[in-house]
């Protein structure tokens, strides 16, 4: 696995699913700044701030819940000699409804992308690493709500708990082949649905302020820096673990 030294990611090949979202874009930008070669797999191209990077990431249109599409993408990268060293199963969606009124169509969408999509991508990458007898690293994006109930997002929280379980299974079954799996668990990030609720709902803001021990929303760059750190040689002995970087949200008893 090509890496630099002293925490550098020079030459490291990283694929990020869902890299076109607000957090995903921040992750890609940080990886690029540290010298990684990044491929974004998403249903839409990234539109981020690439200040400080030599070039934007490579974009590949891909529905990560589509087994055939994912297989074709990874096979293409392998044939080009650019099979990723690290695969970030980051793509995810969320919706908010009371648990008694949650539409099943949105429930199914969450599990299709957050759980099936993560599994399909991780499985496809692991198969190619095993076939070529090379090491690899899977990084799943979970959340602090995987272990703490939060009103209005029950299916999302369940999907993130499922991601942790999947990660541990990949880690346990593939460690002997040099394939590691870990997860990162952010807190309440200033992006997407959380940012929208923070800006528009006084009730949500009050509850979130009570939950965030450090007192402020988490910036996407905070998540990006932590994930990039997990890609460095300094974390090479870590597998089957969740790096929780949530400002103390998981200490909350508000659920």
202-225 per-position pLDDT tens digit? 888 898 999 999 999 999 999 999
In a domain, 7, yes or no: no
**What is the value of pTM for the model shown?**
0.94
> What span, in angstroms and rounded, lies between the C-alpha atoms of 90 and 10?
22
Find out whether 105 and 127 touch, Cβ atoms under 8 Å.
no
CA-wise closest residue to 129 among 176, 68, 162? 176
How remote is the C-alpha of 48 from its chain's centroid?
A: 17
In a domain, 88, yes or no: yes
Q: How does residue 196 score in pLDDT terms, banded at 50, 70 and 90? A: confident
CATH number at residue 157: 3.40.50.720
The predicted pLDDT at position 168 comes to 98
The predicted pLDDT at position 3 comes to 39
Q: Give the model confidence (pLDDT) of 76-122 as tens digits.
A: 999 999 999 999 999 999 999 999 999 999 999 999 999 999 999 99
Question: 43, exposed or middle or buried, with CB in 10 Å at 0-12, 13-18, 19+?
Answer: middle
Q: How does residue 6 score in pLDDT terms, banded at 50, 70 and 90? A: very low
CA-wise closest residue to 53 among 28, 86, 77? 28
In a domain, 8, yes or no: no
Q: How far is CA 76 from CA 27, 60, 81, 91, in A?
A: 23, 11, 9, 20
In a domain, 135, yes or no: yes
Dihedral of CA atoms 44, 231, 32, 83 in degrees, nearest 10, equals -60
**Whether the predicted pLDDT of 39 surpasses 70:** yes
The predicted pLDDT at position 155 comes to 98
Q: How does residue 172 score in pLDDT terms, banded at 50, 70 and 90? A: very high
In a domain, 250, yes or no: no
Q: What are phi and psi of 77, to 5 degrees?
A: -65, -40
Spatial neighbors of 105 by CB under 8 A, at least 6 apart, are none
In a domain, 143, yes or no: yes
CA-wise closest residue to 136 among 77, 179, 92? 179
In a domain, 204, yes or no: yes
Spatial neighbors of 210 by CB under 8 A, at least 6 apart, are 252, 254
Q: Which domain holds residue 128?
A: 13-245
The predicted pLDDT at position 253 comes to 65
Structural domain total, the chain: 1
Tokens 């099943």, residue located = 104
The predicted pLDDT at position 52 comes to 79
Mind giving me the DSSP string for 213-234?
Answer: TTSSPBPHHHHHHHHHHHTSGG
In a domain, 215, yes or no: yes
What percent of the chain is predicted at pLDDT more than 70?
96
Structure tokens at 94: 């969320």
17-31, 37-51, 101-115 — which is least confidently predicted? 37-51
């Amino acid at each position: 696995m090509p890496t630099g030294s002293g925490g550098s990611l020079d030459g490291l090949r990283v694929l990020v699913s869902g890299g076109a979202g607000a957090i995903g874009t921040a992750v890609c930008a940080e990886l690029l700044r540290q010298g990684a070669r990044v491929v974004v797999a998403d249903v839409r191209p990234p539109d981020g701030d690439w200040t400080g990077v030599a070039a934007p990431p490579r974009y590949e249109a891909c529905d990560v819940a589509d087994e055939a599409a994912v297989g074709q993408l990874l096979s293409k990268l392998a044939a080009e000699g650019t099979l990723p060293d690290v695969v970030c199963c980051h793509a995810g969606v969320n919706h908010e409804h009371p648990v008694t009124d949650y539409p099943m169509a949105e429930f199914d969408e969450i599990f299709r992308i957050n759980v099936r999509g993560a599994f399909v991508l991780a499985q496809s990458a692991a198969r190619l690493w095993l076939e070529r007898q090379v090491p690899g690293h899977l990084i799943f994006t979970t959340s602090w709500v995987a272990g703490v109930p939060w009103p209005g997002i029950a299916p999302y929280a369940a999907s993130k708990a499922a991601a942790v379980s999947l990660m541990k299974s990949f880690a346990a079954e593939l460690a002997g082949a040099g394939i590691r799996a870990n997860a990162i668990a952010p807190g309440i990030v200033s992006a997407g649905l959380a940012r929208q609720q923070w800006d528009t709902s006084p009730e949500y803001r009050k509850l979130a302020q009570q939950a965030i021990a450090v007192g402020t929303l988490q910036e996407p760059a905070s998540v990006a820096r932590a994930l990039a750190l997990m890609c460095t040689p300094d974390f090479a002995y870590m597998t089957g673990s969740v790096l929780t970087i949530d400002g103390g949200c998981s200490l909350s008893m508000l659920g």
